[in-house]
Amino acid sequence: DQQVKQNSPSLSVQEGRISILNCDYTNSMFDYFLWYKKYPAEGPTFLISISSIKDKNEDGRFTVFLNKSAKHLSLHIVPSQPGDSAVYFCAASVVNDMRFGAGTRLTVKP
Partner 1 sequence: DVKVTQSSRYLVKRTGEKVFLECVQDMDHENMFWYRQDPGLGLRLIYFSYDVKMKEKGDIPEGYSVSREKKERFSLILESASTNQTSMYLCASSHRGGAKNIQYFGAGTRLSVL
Binding to partner 1 (CB under 8 A) within 60-89 occurs at 89
106: contact with partner 1 by CB under 8 A: no
Looking at residue 84, the DSSP 8-state letter turns out to be: G
**Parallel, antiparallel, or unpaired for β 62-67 and 10-14?**
unpaired
Collapse the DSSP code of 39 into the 3-class scheme (helix H, G, I; strand E, B; otherwise coil) and give the result.
coil
Stretch that binds partner 1, among 2-10, 12-20, 57-65, 76-84 (CB under 8 A): 2-10
**Residue 21 to residue 8: CA distance in whole angstroms:** 8
Q: How many CB atoms lie within 10 A of CB 66?
A: 19
In angstroms, give the least distance from the CB of 104 to partner 1. 11
Contact set with partner 1 (CB under 8 A) = 2, 4, 6, 9, 32, 34, 36, 41-46, 49, 89, 93-98, 100-103
